[in-house]
Structure 1
Amino acid sequence: MIRHIVFFSAKKTENIDAICDGLNLLGTIPGSLHFEVTRNTKVDQISNEVDVVVYAEFADAAGLAAYKAHPSYDLATQRVRPLRELRLSSDVVAK
């Protein structure tokens, strides 16, 4: 299984809801075992730059590749990219 985790920060606080809405389009893409978009609770006293987190699970690398190749992925990117400052992504193979 692959855990796909992506962190976003908004250029403006008022854009966070629109970022979440745009990222929720990704949840319509078939193939994920689990998918969620959540706001960061910002309880860490040291680092609170992240506003939104996408967490998804895929059976394998092929499933993740199909997700990224889906037209809705491009649509979500087009909606979110102008609103976000930071995007960090990690794909972890779960044991």
Structure 2
Amino acid sequence: MIRHIVFFSAPPGGDVVAIRDGLMALAEIPFSTHFEVALNRKVDPLCDQIDVVVYAEFPDEAALAAYKAHPTYDATTRAVRPLRELRFSADFPAQP
């Protein structure tokens, strides 16, 4: 299983809810076994810069690649990019 985590921040005065709502379109892509988008609770005293988190699980690398190649992924990226400031992504295999 591959875990896919992406962190987003809004620029100062940006619309965090619009970023979250825009990213929800990714849930329509059928290749994940688990998918969620959430607002960060910002309770970590060392870092509160992350506003929105996307978390997904994929059965294998092929499913993750198909997700990223899906037209909805491209459309969502184009819609959200102007709304966000930072984007950090990590894909890693789950430990058994």
After TM superposition, the score normalised by the length of structure 2 is 0.95
CA deviation vs aligned residue, 1:7-65 (integer Å, no higher than 9, x gap): 00011444111111110010000010000000000001110000000000000000000
Q: Distance in 2 between matches of 1:89 and 1:60?
A: 17
Which shows bigger deviation, 44-53 or 4-13?
4-13
**Is the contact between residue 2 and residue 92 of structure 2 (CA under 8 Å) also seen in structure 1?**
yes
Richer in helix (by share): 1
RMSD across aligned positions (CA): 0.9
**Is the contact between residue 14 and residue 84 of structure 2 (CA under 8 Å) also seen in structure 1?**
no
In the alignment, which residue of structure 2 is the partner of 1:43?
43
CA deviation vs aligned residue, 1:42-93 (integer Å, no higher than 9, x gap): 0011100000000000000000000000000011101110011100000010
Runs of 4+ in 1 over 6 A off after TM superposition: none
SS across alignment from 2:9: strand
Aligned residues: 95
Richer in strand (by share): 1
2:32 aligned with 1:29, yes or no?
Answer: no
After TM superposition, the score normalised by the length of structure 1 is 0.96
Mapping 1:1-95, distance limit 5 Å: 1-95=1-95
Structure 2: any 5+ residue segments left out of the alignment? none
